[in-house]
Amino acid sequence: HPDQDHIIRLIANASRDWGIFQVVNHGIPFDLIQKLQQVGKEFFDLPQEEKEVYAKPPGALAIEGYGSKIGNDVNGKKNWADHLFHKIWPASCINHQFWPKNPPSYRAVNEEYAQEVRKVVDKLFKWLSMGLGLEADVLKQGAGGEEIEYLMKINYYPPCPRPDLTLGVASHTDLSTMTVLVPNEVPGLQVFKDGHWIDAKYIPGALIIHIGDQIEILSNGKYKAVLHRTTVDKEKTRMSWPVFLEPPGEFVVGPLPQLLDPQIPPKYKPKKFKDYCYCKFHKLPQ
Ligand code: OGA
Ligand code: NI
């Protein structure tokens, strides 16, 4: 849309009312998105032993690597997803040991996607910041600036004979600042709003943007982290490619001071991102 103020309003309203929205005409070539999906699918189609080469090291604190949760129990429902995590940006935080060598084009495609997704993310940070009535760079700087880490995850949800006993991913909000997700054509993502689970519509080539916990905190609750989950399909394999935009672990995130005054107190405690993650993971109070 040619009118930037219009886009800012749409994005700010969606982030306030839903915490999630889809972006079209974002500038990432459709054939690059298709290549990203293709190389990810080829990796997950490899024999189990080959995927295990990239397994998350046992006992590792970091999240990177291949993992299988198929068969695990969550609240009486079976988990039904495999995943691969690896960072794609900034260059200094990339561990190539977790990037598949097969298919051979995996690396080049992911490098290209990282560069393209950065351009979109910078625009989103700018517009979300302006949507709060702030200078364009305030939100991104408050989230770690150029040190924000781009964590790629591939979710792989194979067909499941009993979808009624299963969840792909149990309901949660993302820990991230925001998450930029490419889905495949098999529906499954659901969003909780006004007491109901609502299916996300599949729009070919669109990016699904989730507001995560850290933007909710930075905006002092003006933008909402979206509660979401995924279902699985009886016949088809669902896949998705979220990129989580995370502050560095030591970076302290708290409500932006520009949004506070004596009448508007902070609703959240400033906290190192790694401490926030620890508390959420162990279900401790923030
Ligand atoms: C996640 C997630 C949604 C999806 O991995 O955090 O919410 O559509 N995935 O797969
Ligand atoms: Ni999520």
Tens-digit pLDDT profile for residues 121-150: 999 999 999 999 999 999 999 999 999 999
How far, in Å, are 13, 108, 175, 183 from residue 68 at the CA level?
37, 25, 20, 19
Report residue 80's pLDDT band, with 50, 70 and 90 as the boundaries.
confident
Averaged pLDDT, 93-103: 97
- Site to probe by mutation for ligand 1, drawn from 189, 198, 210, 243 as the one with most ligand atoms within 8 Å of Cβ, is 189
Instruction: Please report, rounded to a whole number, the percentage of residues in the chain having pLDDT higher than 70.
Output: 98
Ligand 1 pocket residue status of 242, Cβ below 6 Å: yes
Averaged pLDDT, 177-181: 98
Ligand 1 pocket residue status of 183, Cβ below 6 Å: yes
pTM above 0.85, yes or no: yes
Q: How far is the centre of ligand 1, averaged over its atoms, from the C-alpha of 3 (Å)?
A: 31
Protein fold of 4-282: Jelly Rolls (2.60.120)
- The atom of ligand 1 lying closest to the CA of 229 is 7
Among the ranges given (70-79, 87-96, 163-172, 188-197), the one the predictor scored with the smallest mean pLDDT: 70-79
Mean pLDDT for all residues in the chain = 95
Show which residues are catalytic.
153, 172, 174, 228
Report residue 71's pLDDT band, with 50, 70 and 90 as the boundaries.
low
Residue nearest to atom 7 of ligand 1 (CA): 229
Which tokens hold the place of 110? 């992911």
Residue nearest to atom 10 of ligand 1 (CA): 240
Separation between Cα atoms, residue 133 and residue 135, nearest integer Å: 7
pLDDT at 60: 80
Instruction: Please report, rounded to a whole number, the percentage of residues in the chain having pLDDT higher than 90.
Output: 88
DSSP string, 3-61: -HHHHHHHHHHHHHHTSEEEE-S-S--HHHHHHHHHHHHHHHTS-HHHHHTTBPPTT-S
Q: Spell out the domain ranges in the chain.
A: 4-282
- Phi/psi of residue 256, each to 5°? -65, 130
Q: How far is the centre of ligand 2, averaged over its atoms, from the C-alpha of 63 (Å)?
A: 15
In the predicted model, is pLDDT for residue 70 greater than 70? Answer: no
